[in-house]
Every structure is written in structure tokens, then in C-alpha cells.
């Protein structure tokens, strides 16, 4: 066996994937271009993965030499893929971070319609969790704080009354401190 396969590496995650109830890709990020060199291979893998997992009760599956951990909720499936030598607990930690941060971003309304409306923020969260296969953060609260929109960035017509009052208080405070 090749000894380089057993050496520890930071490149643990091979891919992150969110699919809908029909097996269609909503969000996919693949980090190992040797395993999935083109979109055709990615789609074939996703179809195979979905057919094996959409009715299963387990959380871990070995497929095509990859360890895949997954979680489903309402009409969404969340997947994290790693090599067959990677620790499933680390991959599960990434999966829980992905799911929990998505749940917080969507205000615990984790379903396809709401995810599609907030896809830009979820994509930012995925980028904060993992970059190039290296796990950057595994705390969903930290992820949500990094990707949260500031109240200044939200148009006043879309802000809640509490947000408008908070902005007004801050502006008044700063004007008095000057």
C-alpha cells in the first residue's frame, strides 16, 4: 500500500453537497479534482449517492472509495464526503456544522424554498466552513456571525421595527458622543 495515503493531511473534505428531495443538486462544492474531474462525473456520483441514501436510515456510507456522511431534513439532503481513510467523526462534525449553521441562517426553517431564497448566505457559510478541502471552522455560531448581514446593509423597507429602533439608537448615541 502507498504510504502517502496513510499520512495525515489537512485536506480531509473531498466535497460538500446539498440536494433536494428529487436528487437534484442545489449546492455542490468539490475540492478534489482528481476524483471528480468534470461535471459529468459529479452528476453521476450524485445520482448514485442519492439512490443509495434517500431511503436509508444510517448516517454513513462508503461509496466509490469515499466515506459519505449525510443528514436529511424535510425536503433537503446534506452530504459531506471524505476519503475512505478519513475519520467519520471529523466528517460528521463538518456535516453538523453545515446543517446547524444553515438552520440558524434559515431561522430553523430548513426547507428547499427558504434555502433557495437565502442561497447566497448559505454559500458564504460553506466557504467559511471549508476551503480547498481544509476545515476552517466547525462552530455553527461562529459561522453565522461571520456571514450575518449587518443591519446597515439591509434596506430600511426590509428591516423589522426593532432593527430600525436599534439603528436609530446607535445613530443617536454616536451623535451625542461627538
Instruction: List pLDDT tens digits, range 125-151.
Output: 999 999 988 999 999 988 888 887 554
Question: 131: helix, coil or strand?
Answer: strand
Any idea how long the chain is? 178
Rounded to two decimals, what is the model's pTM?
A: 0.78
Fold of 3-147: Beta-Lactamase (3.30.450)
Instruction: List pLDDT tens digits, range 101-125.
Output: 999 888 888 889 989 988 888 999 9
Parse the chain into domains and list their residue ranges: 3-147, 151-178
Q: What angle do CA 75, 97, 83 make, to 5 degrees?
A: 90
Amino acid at each position: 500500500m502507498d504510504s502517502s495515503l496513510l499520512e495525515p493531511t489537512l485536506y480531509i473534505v473531498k466535497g460538500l453537497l446539498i440536494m433536494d428531495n428529487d436528487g437534484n443538486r442545489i449546492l455542490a462544492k468539490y475540492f478534489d479534482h482528481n476524483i471528480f474531474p468534470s461535471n459529468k462525473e459529479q452528476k453521476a456520483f450524485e445520482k448514485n449517492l442519492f439512490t443509495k441514501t434517500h431511503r436509508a436510515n444510517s448516517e454513513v456510507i462508503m461509496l466509490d472509495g469515499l466515506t459519505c456522511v449525510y443528514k436529511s431534513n424535510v425536503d433537503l439532503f446534506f452530504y459531506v464526503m471524505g476519503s475512505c481513510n478519513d475519520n467519520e467523526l471529523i466528517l460528521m462534525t463538518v456535516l453538523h456544522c453545515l446543517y446547524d449553521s444553515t438552520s440558524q441562517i434559515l431561522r430553523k426553517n430548513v426547507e428547499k424554498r427558504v434555502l433557495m431564497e437565502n442561497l447566497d448566505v448559505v454559500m458564504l457559510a460553506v466557504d467559511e466552513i471549508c476551503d480547498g478541502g481544509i476545515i476552517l471552522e466547525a462552530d455553527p455560531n461562529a459561522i453565522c456571525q461571520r456571514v450575518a448581514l449587518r443591519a446597515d446593509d439591509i434596506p430600511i423597507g426590509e428591516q423589522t421595527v426593532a432593527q430600525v429602533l436599534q439603528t436609530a439608537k446607535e445613530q443617536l448615541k454616536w451623535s451625542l458622543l461627538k
